Structure 1
Amino acid sequence: EAGCIPLLVSNTPEVCMCWETFNNVTGRTNNPYDPRRTPGGSSGGEAALLGAGASVIGLASDIGGSGRLPALYCGVYGHKPTPGYIGIDGHIPVSEDESWGNFFSIAPMCRYAEDLPLYLHSISDPTKRENLRLKQPVDLKTVKIFYIEEDPSILADRVHPEIKTSMRKAVAHFANKFNVIAQEIKIKELEEVYQVAGVVMLRMKSCNSVYQKTEDNPAEWNSVLWTYIKYIFGFTEHTHPPLIYGPIKKYADSISEKEFSEMLELKRTLMQKFDEMLGDDGVFLYPTFNDLANFHQQFYYKLLNTSYFTLFNLIELPACSCPTGLAKDGRPVGFQVAANKHQDRLVFAVAKELESAFGGWVPPPSIPPQEKEAAPNPKQALDKVTIQG
């Protein structure tokens, strides 16, 4: 009804349970900027198509950065909206837990920032979307900007210097053009987001997984140990990433009620702090991830950095990964812009200004990096011919 023409269903990891994109049916998706690298996951197929210029908008999902990490890796926009505005019926995996919709969102992806408000308006619930005021203009001179350059947790790795540089350029741009002075802040509770986000979300009722005995009952599982034994000896068609859900789900369920209550209290504290800080006129700049697109299979070494994007699932705020150009080695660079609940329009306004200032999506190279490296230097080739002559 809104005029879009669906092209295809893009590739995802098995049961959407991986931050890279591969499965045993359709294989592995490559990054359009460097095929040696991953597009991220779980919505990696969608991001790769957008980054390659093969589509204009895409539909992703996001319960742990699945719509924002691929957007960073492929140089496009990936927005996790305020929960509750887009219907989630029909998505797999799904959980019957009443809090599922607080953490999980359908996530619009776009090549161009100006498409974000129109896209969200088109797919959001008609009875609710007026609360987002997406058509109401935003005066960027009145927007407050807060930022943090690195996750304060001792578990997290350092942020790539070009991500930091892009954030600092954005801060300087808003100061120079709008006289908006960004405030660098510290929030101690962020140190525990990695552990808390994982446990709180994993404590929900089981979602669809490779362990369920029947299609209709995700809660009734086969043995985790036996499933792993079959995998080790090659008696299963499943890939490894969705198997990891089993032991970490068991671990989360084993957390004592006292410890779990403390985690929920930290979640409430974080939500309150962000609510008071952002109000209805503030945005928060934060890295989407600590690094740029990694080589295939390398993400497993970076799992302790997932708190950069799971933070906004945990505290239920809208957040968009915004591209700000390419790094020196050709990989897309960007960071997240977040706002308070129902203030997605502030995120979009800042995203559009960043696009205007720094370029947004940049088409990938026509010659992949590994082919460039393998190609002979024309001058050297000519010299060889001359010498031989």
Structure 2
Amino acid sequence: MIRFIFRIIVWIVLKLFKVAFIPLTIIRLFYKKKVCPPITNDILFLPASALAAKIRNREISSETVIRSYIERISEVNPILNAVIDERFQDALEEAKQVEEVLNNATSIKEIEDQYPLLGVPITIKGSLAVEGLQHSAGVLLRTKRALKDAETVKRVREVGAIPLLVSNTPEFCLNWETTNKLIGTTNNPYDLRRSVGGSSGGEGALVSAGASVIGIGSDIAGSLRLPMNYCGVWGHKPSPRIISVEGHYPSCPEEEWPDVFHVGPISRYASDLSILFEILVEPNAKTKLKKPIDLKKLKVYYLKDIRNCLMNRTSSDIKKAIERVVTFFNSHTETSICTEINPDLLKHASEYSYLRLLLVDNVDNLFEGKGEGSHWELLKFLFCMSKSVITSILYGVLRWWLWIIPRKYIKETLNDIRILKQEILQILDDQSVLILPVSTRDAPPHGDVFKMLFDFGYCSIFNSLGLPSTACPVMQTEQGMPIGVQVVGAPNCDRLCLAVAKEIERAFGGWKPPSPFRKKTNEKQSLLT
């Protein structure tokens, strides 16, 4: 009964949101599509692994590579608005020191083994600490600079990578739109009128625009997958507790935090995603992941749509992407035909995952305790007096109102999550994956994420279930917007997800640079949907 009442209330709120957006939707019709400038430097098309090989073979200098990326960042950032803080001069100095490493090495093999990313640039989400740079997580009032690197940043430095900057993220990482009052909103390279998603949106924008080749992001409800899907690149949410979350803000002292919150790799090429993943994984976790992979024996399950009155139906393009991937694996495995799962299996994905995340206590946020003071801040926001954004405020309001939910309902929901995991693990094993949408459509116009709040259950449920998941670009819409699929595996089957991602890249080409060209279509109708 409580769940039914909840759905009715939320359904009404979502409908009111859509009505309120009608004037904005009409105004958008008068804005023309713009994309970021084309990539003209061939260096920017090389995968990180190829850059590293050329640097250690002295075919190109690290300094040349770093300068190329700095120039590209300087070119596109004024229109993308994706950079919070940079360390370009320090990066150039570190690039010059690469020559010393090369001179002191006894063999190229030694360099490859010890420094697999020697001299390669990397960008970091603004919620992860990079020594000397702002560590704000998009919070206007947080002026702290990082005193030391986050554990993951330290790892990539140890293998020779050179951090260039920290990228934009929503305030406290609490939004599926990358916007804050610190530097503003990040734009999608394929269409500046559209969202990059969140919360690793700055990374998604830079990587897809050719202004970064690899990056590190974080994910509590889809943040390593949604922006990568909207920007046509690769992102992997790992299994719990195999990659350190130390050095991330916001953080949480609760024991359950690493079960639902994750740090992971982002890349323009699927092969680089695997390389960066191996570097980031904790040494004591590597043994859990060493399972043999034979893609000829791969079992594929898929889902094209979740039936829930609070969620939008998946677009025809999203369904087409799923169908293309399923068709490919049908003809490239020795197992039986790919199997579609019951669409009702994940029917309550959004409700389960949102309540699960709200129940985590002591997460760094705008308020103390369980949201005390959030209603006052909301009032200030309504009178344009708040220095925060609405999503951070509403998080506190929702936390405060948790007391109204009966303990019995919470207990039942947590039990339902456990049952759902058992049901999914009856399907998934160490030789099978689940392929499903990342979201219900391509990147929406700025602000429209508020009309899609429950669509993101496609991603967030796998944080609650503790399953690894990879966002994989597959194709582009007629408007030139990238869309892809999500590959989900059993616990600690990250390498299987990444191996499947490589196959998808081989079959469909992976990342495609933003282009002003588009097929003839009714673009006005596209923006109205």
State TM-score, norm by structure 1: 0.89
Structure 2 distance, partners of 1:368, 1:60, is 30
Structure 1 distance, partners of 2:401, 2:255, is 21
Q: How is 1:213-292 mapped onto 2 (pairs within 5 angstroms)?
A: 219=369, 222-292=372-442
How much has 1:97 moved relative to structure 2?
Answer: 2.1
Structure 1 distance, partners of 2:394, 2:506, is 41
Structure 2 distance, partners of 1:192, 1:251, is 21
Contact 1:324 1:358 in 2 (8 A): yes
Structure 2 distance, partners of 1:62, 1:184, is 27
Structure 2 distance, partners of 1:101, 1:254, is 27
Structure 2 distance, partners of 1:57, 1:235, is 39
How much has 1:323 moved relative to structure 2?
Answer: 0.3
How much has 1:367 moved relative to structure 2?
Answer: 7.2
Higher relative contact order (CA 8 A, sep 6+): 1
Which residue number in structure 2 is paired with residue 215 of structure 1?
none
How much has 1:251 moved relative to structure 2?
Answer: 3.1
Letter of the structure 2 residue corresponding to residue 73 of structure 1 = Y
Which residue number in structure 2 is paired with residue 185 of structure 1?
341
SS of corresponding position for 1:22? coil
SS of corresponding position for 1:28? coil
| Structure 2 counterpart of 1:31, from 185, 188, 205 | 188
Structure 2 distance, partners of 1:261, 1:236, is 35
Which residue number in structure 2 is paired with residue 150 of structure 1?
305
Unaligned 5+ segments in structure 2 are 1-157, 524-529
Cα shift readout 1:253-282 (whole Å, capped 9, x = no counterpart): 432221111111111111111212111111
Aligned length: 362
Alignment CA distance shift 1:244-1:220 (3 Å): closer
Cα shift readout 1:334-369 (whole Å, capped 9, x = no counterpart): 010000001011111111011011111101115799
Q: How is 1:355-366 mapped onto 2 (pairs within 5 angstroms)?
A: 355-365=505-515
Q: How is 1:110-189 mapped onto 2 (pairs within 5 angstroms)?
A: 110-133=267-290, 138-180=293-335, 181-186=337-342, 188-189=344-345
Contact 1:153 1:190 in 2 (8 A): no
Alignment CA distance shift 1:253-1:58 (3 Å): farther
Letter of the structure 2 residue corresponding to residue 4 of structure 1 = A
Structure 2 distance, partners of 1:93, 1:22, is 16
Which residue number in structure 1 is paired with residue 233 of structure 2?
76
Letter of the structure 2 residue corresponding to residue 109 of structure 1 = I
Structure 2 distance, partners of 1:309, 1:24, is 26
SS of corresponding position for 2:162? coil
Structure 2 distance, partners of 1:313, 1:257, is 22
Which residue number in structure 2 is paired with residue 383 of structure 1?
none
How much has 1:187 moved relative to structure 2?
Answer: 5.6
Structure 1 distance, partners of 2:506, 2:438, is 20
Contact 1:189 1:266 in 2 (8 A): no
Which residue number in structure 2 is paired with residue 196 of structure 1?
352
Contact 1:38 1:294 in 2 (8 A): yes
Alignment CA distance shift 1:368-1:61 (3 Å): farther
Contact 2:297 2:334 in 1 (8 A): no
| Structure 1 counterpart of 2:470, from 283, 302, 320 | 320
Contact 2:318 2:484 in 1 (8 A): yes
| Structure 2 counterpart of 1:64, from 212, 217, 221 | 221
Letter of the structure 2 residue corresponding to residue 154 of structure 1 = C
Structure 2 distance, partners of 1:201, 1:22, is 21
Structure 1 distance, partners of 2:232, 2:403, is 37
Which residue number in structure 2 is paired with residue 302 of structure 1?
452
Cα shift readout 1:37-75 (whole Å, capped 9, x = no counterpart): 011111100100001011111111100001111000000
Structure 2 distance, partners of 1:163, 1:288, is 9
Between stretches 268-277 and 62-71, larger displacement belongs to: 268-277
SS of corresponding position for 2:197? coil
Cα shift readout 1:151-199 (whole Å, capped 9, x = no counterpart): 1223211101111111111111111222442100116342122111111
Structure 2 distance, partners of 1:114, 1:71, is 15
SS of corresponding position for 2:301? strand
Which residue number in structure 1 is paired with residue 170 of structure 2?
13
Which residue number in structure 1 is paired with residue 161 of structure 2?
4
Which residue number in structure 2 is paired with residue 216 of structure 1?
none
Letter of the structure 1 residue corresponding to residue 400 of structure 2 = K
Between stretches 311-320 and 270-279, larger displacement belongs to: 270-279
Contact 2:479 2:518 in 1 (8 A): no
Contact 2:213 2:267 in 1 (8 A): yes
Q: Percent of counterpart pairs with the same letter?
A: 38
Aligned-residue CA RMSD in angstroms?
A: 1.7
Which residue number in structure 1 is paired with residue 266 of structure 2?
109
Cα shift readout 1:21-49 (whole Å, capped 9, x = no counterpart): 11112111100100010111111001000
Structure 1 distance, partners of 2:384, 2:326, is 52
Unaligned 5+ segments in structure 1 are 213-218, 374-389
Which residue number in structure 2 is paired with residue 386 of structure 1?
none
Structure 1 distance, partners of 2:213, 2:469, is 20
Structure 2 distance, partners of 1:272, 1:51, is 36
Contact 1:141 1:178 in 2 (8 A): yes
Cα shift readout 1:286-328 (whole Å, capped 9, x = no counterpart): 1000011000011101112121111101111000110012111
Structure 2 distance, partners of 1:223, 1:328, is 47
Letter of the structure 1 residue corresponding to residue 301 of structure 2 = F
Structure 2 distance, partners of 1:158, 1:126, is 42
Letter of the structure 1 residue corresponding to residue 338 of structure 2 = A
Alignment CA distance shift 1:178-1:75 (3 Å): same
SS of corresponding position for 1:347? helix
Structure 2 distance, partners of 1:171, 1:291, is 18
How much has 1:127 moved relative to structure 2?
Answer: 1.6
